[in-house]
């Protein structure tokens, strides 16, 4: 059995930083993720005048319920969509003029439904170029609160940003959602708001967020379930290999742990315990049709092992993977074709067909960490796979290549 210690969750770390910054008092975050996305989030907060103390095992944030400590700031959000969507929303609750920009990759990604909703709530928000894209400036004067309608069919992060903002408004928010993808991420948000003292109500499709602010706390970050998917997938494609990830078990907040159910359906032996999850490769890997709307960050993981299944693997309802770090449906398809695998795609689906034995090739990463980490799993069984930009794993797991090489030594030799 190989035990793999997975770094902290990006999603939990980003939320915890927002909540800690907004809370009344000092919050300690234990086992935060240290990666480009989360360091970028922390530095964005520092740019807004928050005090963030960072040691390897714990981060400490002095909360400011009244908002940023500076009247003007220019914040660079790097590649992180949580940073680029959550921080302007946090800043809106303060008083000052705050400009936000992001990397070319993140500038291409949308946030129009969020900026529209903020404007509907009275926030003075201006784009420098295309509407609904960075760079943008928030001339913040606090947020009164009230009713707002939101389409979160492209990204749940729009809804998470507004939910997190709710307690910082003067009268609270009622957010009516017309469509929603990645729903489990909203459950993470609600659970973490509860840990910081706020209970969100539900009336059908309307989320009712009370005013009153957050309470500082000590918060332990779970290992990242999306990151764990590469290690679970590695076990599933290696007969006899067994991988255990401690810290992700029955009570885990992250929906992406559900990826192990997909592996179980394909033939892997999966045990989800109270505080750990184990996947064992049985030598059997069946094809399947699976809806991944709730867990689409693991779509590339599945696509990358699909060539080893004995039947077609069809992944449905993943249109929004086209607006992630890259167009992930096309990135997966073109890279699989480069390996000689037969693939078809549609607007919101991909189908990988069995037959050809994959051959080594250089993977085009499009600067997308998940393309690298996913095809690294393909590389366990197919020699000669390399990457044009292996370093882009820094977004969520700077130590990925070393950790994966260790695993390979253990399970393949």
Ligand X SMILES: C=C(OP(=O)(O)O)C(=O)O
Q: Which of 297, 317, 368, 410 is catalytic?
A: 297
By the rule CB under 6 A, 82 interacts with ligand X: yes
Stretch that binds ligand S3P, among 152-160, 236-244, 267-275, 343-351 (CB under 6 A): 152-160
Contact by Cβ (8 Å): 45, 15: no
120 catalytically annotated: no
The only residue of 181, 221, 260, 341 in contact with ligand S3P, by rule CB under 6 A = 181
Pick the binder of ligand X from 370, 375, 387, 392 (CB under 6 A). 370
Query: Could you say whether residue 324 binds ligand X (CB under 6 A)?
Result: yes
Per CB under 6 A, 82 contacts ligand S3P:
yes
Asked whether the bond before 135 is cis by omega within 30 degrees of 0, the reply is: yes
Q: Cα-flanking dihedrals φ and ψ of residue 356, to 5°?
A: -70, 145
320 binds, among ligand X, ligand S3P, none (CB under 5 to 8 A by kind): ligand S3P
Contact call for residue 297 and ligand S3P (CB under 6 A): yes
Q: Is 109 annotated as a binding residue?
A: yes
Annotated binding-site residue? 409: no
Q: Which of 327, 306, 160 is nearest to 233 (CA)?
A: 306
> Contact between 297 and ligand X (CB under 6 A)?
yes
User: Which one of 64-72, 116-124, 177-185, 300-308 is the stretch in contact with ligand S3P (CB under 6 A)?
Assistant: 177-185
Is 338 assigned to a binding site?
A: no
CA distance 342 to 359: 12
Q: Are 31 and 244 in contact (CB under 8 A)?
A: no
Which residue minimizes CB distance to ligand X?
A: 81
CB of 347 to ligand X, least distance (A): 19
**Which residue in this structure is represented by tokens 């005013």?**
211
Determine phi and psi for 131, rounding to 5 degrees. Answer: -55, 135
Give the span between the Cα atoms of 9 and 229, in whole angstroms.
12
Scanning 126-134, 151-159, 326-334, 345-353 for contacts with ligand S3P by CB under 6 A, the matching segment is 151-159
Kindly tell me which residue out of 137, 155, 301, 374 binds ligand S3P, with binding defined by CB under 6 A. Answer: 155
Which parts of 264-400 are beta strand (E)? 269-272, 276-280, 288-291, 313-316, 342-346, 349-353, 362-363, 386-387
Please, what is the minimum distance in Å from the beta carbon of residue 157 to ligand S3P?
Answer: 5
Q: Which of ligand S3P, ligand X, none sits in contact with 370, Cβ below 5 to 8 A by type? A: ligand X
Helix (H) or strand (E) holding 157: helix 157-165
Helices (H), 173-292: 183-195, 225-236, 259-266
Binding mask 33-62 for ligand S3P (x = CB under 6 A): ------------------------------
| C-alpha distances out from residue 403 to 6, 120, 226, 391, 398, Å | 9, 46, 15, 14, 10
Residue whose CB is less far from ligand S3P, 82 or 137: 82
- Near ligand X in 388-407, by CB under 6 A: 396
Task: In whole angstroms, give the CA distance from residue 357 to residue 249.
Answer: 35
Size of the site for ligand S3P (CB under 6 A): 13
Minimum CB distance to ligand X smaller for 314 or for 328: 328
Q: How far apart are the C-alpha atoms of 63 and 49, rounded to whole Å? A: 11
Question: What strands, in cross-sheet order, belong to the sheet with 276-280?
Answer: 2-3, 242-246, 276-280, 269-272
**Nearer Cβ to ligand X, position 340 or 391?**
391
Q: Which does 185 bind (CB under 5 to 8 A by kind): ligand X, ligand S3P, none?
A: ligand S3P
Cis peptide bond upstream of 71, omega within 30: no
State CA 396 to chain mean position distance.
9
81 binds ligand X (CB under 6 A): yes
Return the structure tokens found at 224: 């990242």
Q: Is 160 in the site for ligand S3P (CB under 6 A)?
A: yes
Residues near ligand S3P (CB under 6 A) are 11, 14, 82, 155-157, 160, 181-182, 185, 296-297, 320
Q: Could you list the active site residues?
A: 297
Residues near ligand X (CB under 6 A) are 80-82, 297, 324, 370, 396
């Amino acid at each position: 059995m190989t035990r793999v210690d997975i770094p902290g969750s990006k999603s939990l770390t980003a939320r915890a930083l927002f909540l800690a910054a907004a809370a009344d008092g000092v919050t300690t975050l234990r086992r935060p993720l240290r990666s480009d996305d989360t360091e970028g989030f922390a530095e964005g907060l520092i740019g807004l005048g928050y005090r963030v103390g960072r040691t390897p095992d714990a981060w400490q944030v002095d909360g400011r319920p009244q908002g940023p400590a500076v009247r003007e700031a220019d914040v660079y959000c790097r590649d992180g969509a949580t940073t680029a969507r959550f921080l302007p929303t946090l800043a809106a609750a303060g008083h000052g003029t705050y400009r936000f920009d992001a990397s070319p990759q993140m500038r291409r990604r949308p946030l129009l439904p969020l900026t529209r909703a903020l404007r509907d709530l009275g926030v003075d928000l201006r784009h420098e170029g295309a509407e609904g894209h960075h760079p943008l400036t928030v001339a913040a004067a606090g947020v009164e609160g009230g009713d707002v309608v939101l389409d979160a069919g492209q990204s749940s992060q729009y809804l998470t940003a507004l939910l997190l903002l709710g307690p910082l408004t003067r009268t609270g928010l009622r957010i009516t959602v017309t469509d929603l993808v990645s729903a489990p991420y909203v459950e993470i948000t609600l659970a973490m708001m509860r840990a910081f003292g706020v209970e969100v109500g539900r009336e059908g499709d309307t989320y009712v967020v009370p005013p009153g602010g957050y309470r500082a706390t000590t918060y332990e970050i779970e290992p990242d379930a999306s990151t764990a998917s590469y290690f679970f997938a590695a076990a599933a494609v290696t007969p006899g290999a067994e991988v255990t990830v401690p810290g992700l078990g029955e009570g885990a907040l992250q929906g992406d742990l559900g990826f192990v159910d997909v592996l179980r359906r394909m033939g892997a032996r999966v045990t989800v315990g109270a505080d750990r999850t184990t996947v064992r490769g049985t030598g059997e890997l069946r094809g399947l049709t699976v809806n991944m709307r709730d867990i689409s960050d693991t779509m590339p993981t599945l696509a990358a092992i699909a060539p080893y299944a004995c039947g077609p693997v069809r992944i449905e309802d993943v249109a929004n993977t086209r607006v992630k770090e890259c167009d992930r449906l096309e990135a997966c398809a073109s890279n699989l074709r480069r390996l000689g695998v037969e693939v078809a795609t549609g607007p919101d689906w991909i189908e990988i067909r069995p037959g050809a034995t994959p051959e080594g090739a250089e993977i085009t990463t499009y600067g997308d960490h998940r393309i690298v980490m996913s095809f690294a799993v393909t590389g366990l069984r197919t020699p000669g796979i390399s990457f044009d930009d292996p370093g882009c794993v820094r977004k969520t797991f700077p130590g990925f290549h070393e950790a994966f090489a260790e695993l390979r030594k253990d399970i393949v030799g």
